[in-house]
Homo-oligomer: A and B are copies of this chain.
Amino acid sequence: MGVVASVEKHKPDAGIALLMSLVDADMARVNQLIIDMAGANAEMIPEVARHLIESGGKRLRPMLTLASAGMFGYAGDGHVKLAASVEFMHTATLLHDDVVDESEMRRGKLAARMVWGNQASVLVGDYLLGQAFRKMVEVGSLEALAVLSRAAAVIAEGEVMQLAAAKDLSTDEDAYIRVIDAKTAALFSAACEVGPIVAGSSDAMRAALASYGTALGLAFQLVDDALDYGGSSVNLGKRTGDDFREGKITLPIILAYRAGSEAERAFWTRTIEQGEIGDGDLEKAGEILRRHGAITATVERARHYAPAPSRRSTRFPLASIARRCWRWSSSASAGCTEVWQLVVGSRASVVLTPT
């Protein structure tokens, strides 16, 4: 079941302006709380935290928490604390991921571990996670705590699953989706689910928002995977080819390996499994991926997960916003370098039509 997207012209820099404008006031409180929570007796902690926090992350997850509480008319400050906690959980994960992946860059800046070392990255990540839990506990909702603590375990489980599958070209698509469901989608899902919880909404709304978050997270990760072989590093603060250089198995590789010739499989074995990467190999990887339509197919999978319009949409302003978040533009010249941006252009109108 494919979908066709028709996209009206709109300003490319519209960004996530609409979502941001909806949560603007609350987001200012989240940002202040994040700064407060990064304070500590050890000077190194706020330094490392600030390096990441101020590095221009989109703060998508806390925005989702704010929006998913706000859509039920919540007026307290619990959603601000939960949003800051969600961002801290995410930041802690980034610090540890960069150590595990031996990444050199993060959001277009040197990774914290390149400045302060792996040791500090591990420990400051632990501190941020501890602070996240402290702040969540203050909100006083055992249901929200259950959702977020489960997410913390599931994220780590997903990272371990990914580590176990690392450099294993026999990883299949199902196994990969399970990994990203855990390592990426679980936090998106939790970020959305705690909104209706703190707002005292129904179990049905909780379930709906959780599933919305999961879908968004899966799509987000798949587009991220695709962009690594075709996007611009300016958009994501990520260098194209990071996944390739780190020998990461992502969906484009899985699809191209399955469909590949003997020679192509030998190429993936040398570069991904054995880590022998030379000049021109990234370009060659891109060629092979495009030859098999693997980048396009990955983006198609992402579109498959994109929240679809439904009769319930009138009750889900967030989902309604999110539908407009998807802008797909195909560059005819590159053939299949589909560039995705999470944007809400106030004039944008994306219509997803089942075909």
Residues of A within 8 A of B (CB): 40-45, 96, 99-100, 118-120, 122-124, 126-127, 129-131, 133-134, 136-138, 140, 142, 145-146, 149-157, 159-161, 163-164, 178, 182
Contact = CB atoms under 8 A, between A and B. Distances in A.
Nearest to A159: B123
Contact of A145 (B99, B118, B145, B150): B145
A228 B229 CA distance: 52
A172 B41 CA distance: 16
Contacts of A45: 157, 160
A42 B164 contact: yes
A152 B123 contact: no
Contacts of A151: 130
B127 A99 contact: no
Nearest to A48: B160
Contact of A42 (B129, B130, B140, B157): B157
Given A120-B163, A163-B120, A126 B156 contact: yes
A111 to B, nearest CB: 14
A99 B130 CA distance: 19
A123 B92 CA distance: 11
A124 to B, nearest CB: 6
A160 B130 CA distance: 13
A99 B123 CA distance: 10
A130 to B, nearest CB: 3
Given A127-B157, A154-B130, A122 B100 contact: yes
Contact of A130 (B43, B44, B134, B149): B149
Contact of A129 (B43, B129, B161): B129
A178 B40 CA distance: 13
A301 to B, nearest CB: 21
A143 to B, nearest CB: 9
Contacts of A136: 149
Contact of A163 (B44, B100, B129, B145): B44
Contact of A127 (B126, B145, B156, B178): B156
A168 to B, nearest CB: 13
A153 B125 CA distance: 10
Given A42-B161, A123-B160, A133-B152, 15 more contacts: A42-B160, A45-B160, A99-B118, A100-B119, A123-B163, A129-B129, A130-B150, A130-B156, A130-B157, A131-B153, A133-B153, A134-B146, A134-B150, A137-B145, A137-B146
